[in-house]
Structure 1
Amino acid sequence: MRLINRRPAPGVARLLALVPFVLVMVAYLIGSGIRLSENPSDKLLPSFASFAAAIDRMAFQVDQRTGDILLLVDTEASLYRLFAALAIAVAIGLVLGIVIGLLPYFRAGLGSFVAVVSMVPPLALLPILFITMGLGEASKIALIVIGVAPCLVRDVALRVGDLPPQQSIKAQTLGASTWQIVLRVVLPQTLPRLIDSLRLQIGPAWLFLIAAEAIASESGLGYRIFLVRRYLAMDVILPYVAWITLLAFLMDRALAILQRRAFPWFEAARASG
């Protein structure tokens, strides 16, 4: 049997999924052991005991200066900014994407503009946002929206344009208005595809958030990472990076579950297509 036709059993597939993580862990343990044996004060690759102490200090003990649990405060601040920005970006992406993909006049007027805007490096606009909007929450949220929304608009517009034209023709034959076509033909087929697009934008959204928090913020996961880097506190930085990765992964899984439960037909349609 050709290798392309071989499928691992479910148990084997789960085991194979764990292999890369185990290899990375073993490589870290080896590297950390070598460096610590040469220099017990080495901060580049801390031991797991150092990680445990740092996690306990950041996540389970009240900070004496602020009276807060730092990891909790940082997570709440970052997730507020991220969720607010993604909600705005999704609304913009859905509305403009459908309008551009469905209506020729809007496609002619806005299609090229959105394409050009999507090519602007969002991080290059960060100083402008801080100057015009200040150093508060608005500029950080705006950066994420600017970075994510144009990509969502373009992707939704392309997905709407790929819908079979026969569906629109049949709906018009039955007397449907443009608004009814949007609600009953375009929107139900666009929402699961929008979730796919949003899943792909989770990583960039976190990147823009951390960049904004690193430059001007008093709380947040990105702020904390760049605050402790001056002390070479890898025992704090690496757990924070792992925590951000876990949060992003959970967001991706939550969106996948939402898509599967809200649109059970979509997975079968994509497989058959």
Structure 2
Amino acid sequence: MRRAINIVPGSGTRILLAFLPFLLIACLYVVASAERQAANPGDKLLPPIAQMATSVSRLASEPDRRSGNLTLWSDTAASLRRLAMGLGAAASIGLVLGLALGLLPMASAGLSPLVAVVSMIPPMAILPVLFIVFGLGELSKVVLIVIGITPFLVRDLAMTVAAIPREQMVKAQTLGASTWQIMLRVALPQTMPRLIEALRLSLGPAFLFLISAEAIAAESGLGYRIFLVRRYLAMDVILPYVAWITLLAYLFDWLLARIARRGFPWAYGQEAR
């Protein structure tokens, strides 16, 4: 008897199965939208796909009357700039502290409780504080992303470093390696793949913090645009923007996965087999 657990789809079947849920969702949306439009031609909750395509085309190709910018692309550039700065700062801080806490007992004893407590603070709860301290400019939005995901990165990387076999540390010290050499040549290479994986897991929260900050205080950005047009019930703009944010997050995830497997193929040897 052939068990389902042993059935492995081929490449063609895998692609078909991957696209099938999206196709079903699109069909359900088209049917629901048609029914609502038939009942009420002025319905705004589920606009037709043609209407959303027209709105996206206008936002992507027609300059804004006030700023002169192409709205979709200027919003995307503003959000991605903030996201990149936040992820870059969080990754740098998380890597340094993660290595220190996982490798140095004194650092772990002094900082681990603080990191654990900070990781429990809801980032959105301190957003007003960030606006008061850092103002309503770019810095407060970047700081929110950093505060939101850095504690997770620190704890995850510290556990990764602590899980490195102790024999490797002993052998390195036997060969005369200093603490810095052990950190850079033993711990760091084994931590980098996990850092990228942790960043992939942090993309969802990072986008959440970004959109939330832009919705409250910003003059451009994807979150700003969504909350700007919500007062007009402009679902023909909101839904495409949500889909665009989702696509950007997926592309970020795919890119990080490619970087990890190209840069550290040894960490994914089991998957290759």
Q: Normalising TM by the smaller chain, what interval?
A: over 0.9
| Code of the aligned partner of 2:155 | R
Counterpart in the other structure of 1:25 = 26
Matches of 1:24 and 1:48 in 2, distance apart? 13
Secondary structure of 2:191's match?
Answer: helix
Partner of 1:45: 46
Note if 1:76 corresponds to 2:77. Answer: yes
> Are 2:266 and 1:265 aligned?
yes
User: Over residues 132-162 of structure 1, what are the superposed CA-to-partner deviations in whole Å (9 max), with x where a residue is unaligned?
Assistant: 1110111110000000111000000010011
CA distance in 2, matches of 1:151, 1:270: 25
* Cα distance in 2 for residues equivalent to 1:194 and 1:48: 39
After superposition, what is the alpha-carbon deviation per residue over 1:102-159, rounded to whole angstroms, capped at 9, x for unaligned? 0000101111110110111000010000111110111110000000111000000010
Aligned to 1:11: 12
Q: CA RMSD, aligned part only?
A: 1.0
Structure 1 SS opposite 2:15: helix
Deviation at 1:65, TM superposition (A): 2.3
- Rounded to whole Å, the distance in 2 between the matches of 1:117 and 1:211 is 20
Match of 1:234 in 2: 235
Q: Which residue of 1 aligns with 2:207?
A: 206
The corresponding residue for 1:64 is 65
Gapped regions of structure 1 (runs ≥ 5): none
Q: Summarize the alignment of residues 122-271 of structure 1 with structure 2, pairs less than 5 Å apart.
A: 122-269=123-270
Counterpart in 2 of 1:106?
A: 107
CA-to-aligned-CA distance 1:222-249 (integer Å, 9 cap, x gap): 0000000000000000110111111101
- Is the partner of 2:177 in helix, strand or coil? coil
Q: Tell me the SS of whatever aligns to 2:131.
A: helix
Letter of the 2:267 partner, please give it.
F
SS at match of 1:65: coil
Deviation at 1:53, TM superposition (A): 1.0
Structure 2 Cα separation of the partners of residues 172 and 216 of structure 1: 52
Deviation per CA, 1:40-85, whole angstroms, max 9, x where unpaired? 1110000011111101111111112221100111011101110001
Unaligned runs of 5+ in 2: none
| Ranges of 4+ aligned residues in structure 1 off by more than 3 Å | 269-272
Q: 1:130 & 1:65 partners in 2: Cα distance?
A: 26
Q: Which amino acid aligns with 1:65?
A: R
Deviations 1:180-214 (A, max 9, x none): 00111000000011000000000100000000000
Find the residue that maps to 1:63 and give its secondary structure: coil
Could you tell me which amino acid in structure 2 is paired with residue 249 of structure 1?
Y
| Identical counterparts, % of pairs | 60
| Offset of residue 269 of structure 1 | 5.0
Where 2:248 maps in the other structure, the secondary structure is: helix
* Cα distance between partner residues in 2 of 1:15 and 1:227: 38
Rounded to whole Å, the distance in 2 between the matches of 1:196 and 1:271 is: 17
